[in-house]
């Protein structure tokens, strides 16, 4: 199946700093990528839809100035958590559609810990 690679897999940062997470589609082009957030023992929550060459679409309640999304090419989307605070600590997962059945493929996830 198609491969979506996410980097880094885990990151620890200090409060007030910004962290960038990369999501790449390795063997297919993705005009649309998605960013999810997952708290412990909870399900994935869609945060935003990343569109190549245009602004991202954010779900209700997600601060676009806090979670900056850039989709500069057909294989790369980035999520930047700006001025991170401990409550931003979570598991962030990206996804892209591809493959023969247009199924969604997910990255490995990024464990963000803000101290």
Partner 1 sequence: LAKTTQPISMDSYEGQEVNITCSHNNIATNDYITWYQQFPSQGPRFIIQGYKTKVTNEVASLFIPADRKSSTLSLPRVSLSDTAVYYCLAAGGGADGLTFGKGTHLIIQP
Binding residues for partner 1, rule: CB under 8 A, are: 1, 4, 6, 32, 34, 36, 43-46, 49, 59, 91, 93-95, 97, 101-109, 111
Rank residues 16 and 99 by Cβ distance to partner 1 and give the closer one. Answer: 99
Rank residues 1 and 16 by Cβ distance to partner 1 and give the closer one. Answer: 1
Q: How far is the CB of 16 from partner 1 (least distance, A)?
A: 26
Rank residues 66 and 111 by Cβ distance to partner 1 and give the closer one. Answer: 111
Residue 61 CA to its chain's centroid (Å): 16
Angstrom distance (rounded) from CA 81 to CA 16: 10
Name the nearest CA neighbour of 94 among 113, 70, 114: 70
Q: How far is the CB of 4 from partner 1 (least distance, A)?
A: 8
* Residue 8, preceding peptide bond in cis (omega within 30° of 0): yes
Report the DSSP pairing between strands 32-38 and 4-7.
unpaired
């Amino acid at each position: 199946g198609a491969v979506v690679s996410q980097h880094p897999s885990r990151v620890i940062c200090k409060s007030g700093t910004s962290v960038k997470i990369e999501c790449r589609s390795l063997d297919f082009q993705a005009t649309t990528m998605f960013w999810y957030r997952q708290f412990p023992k909870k399900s994935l929550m869609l945060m935003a839809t990343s569109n190549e060459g245009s602004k991202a679409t954010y779900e209700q309640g997600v601060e676009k100035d806090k979670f900056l999304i850039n989709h500069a090419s057909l294989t790369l989307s980035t999520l930047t958590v700006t001025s991170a605070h401990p409550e931003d600590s979570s598991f962030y997962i990206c996804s892209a559609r591809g493959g023969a059945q247009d199924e969604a493929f997910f990255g490995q996830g990024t464990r963000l810990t803000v101290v």
